[in-house]
């Protein structure tokens, strides 16, 4: 069974392109059996907090030609790997002590896996805020033009055209 995993990598601190490139290289190393495709860059203001430092984001698609069906445990394992890559590239926490977002060197979000819906205490797929984030939808539309949100039936391009994202 084939499978497509969609990620979004962002950086708004330090050498943004270098951090993103290192994250993509680490993903390629962590998943040697996958074909890794990277979208064009999207620059945007921070989402959810104030900062003078714009984010640079790319989407990443991991295509697995021969993949067992995803389980909650294997999806948590995928999340563990992406979070481990984040920590290996930067020890700066994503949140301040009060829980608000802050500038960060690298952030890897799991956006979608095929057209699955999963909700656990650690992970919600598709990403619950994807429809509000142009910096997620533009790369998603590029990498997965045929992908449809399993709850709304909308493609990323259709979500972009609604004008909801900020």
What pLDDT does 164 receive? Answer: 62
Q: Compute the mean pLDDT over every residue in the chain, rounded to the nearest whole number.
A: 93
pLDDT category of residue 140 using cuts at 50, 70 and 90: very high
The predicted-structure confidence for 77-106, as pLDDT tens digits, reads as follows: 999 999 999 999 998 777 777 877 888 999
Whether 151 and 115 have beta carbons less than 8 Å apart is answered as no
pLDDT at 21 over 80: yes
Confidence (pTM): 0.94
How confident is the model over 33-40, as a mean pLDDT? 97
Whether 123 and 75 have beta carbons less than 8 Å apart is answered as yes
Residues contacting residue 41 through CB under 8 Å, at least 6 positions apart: 56, 57, 58
């Amino acid at each position: 069974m084939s499978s497509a995993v969609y990620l979004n990598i962002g950086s708004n601190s330090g050498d943004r392109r270098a951090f993103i490139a290192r994250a993509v290289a680490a993903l390629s190393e962590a998943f040697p059996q996958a074909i890794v495709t990277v979208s064009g860059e999207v620059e945007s203001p921070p989402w959810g907090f104030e900062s003078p430092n714009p984010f640079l984001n790319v989407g990443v698609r991991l295509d697995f030609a021969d993949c067992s069906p995803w389980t909650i445990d294997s999806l948590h394992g995928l999340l563990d790997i992406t979070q481990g890559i984040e920590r290996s590239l930067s020890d700066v926490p994503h949140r301040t002590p009060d829980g608000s977002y802050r500038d960060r060197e690298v952030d890897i979000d799991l956006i979608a896996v095929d057209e699955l819906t999963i909700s656990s205490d650690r992970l919600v797929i598709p990403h619950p805020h994807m429809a509000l984030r142009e910096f997620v939808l533009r790369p998603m539309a590029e990498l997965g033009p045929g992908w449809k949100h399993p709850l709304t039936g909308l493609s990323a391009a259709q979500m972009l055209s609604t004008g909801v994202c900020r």
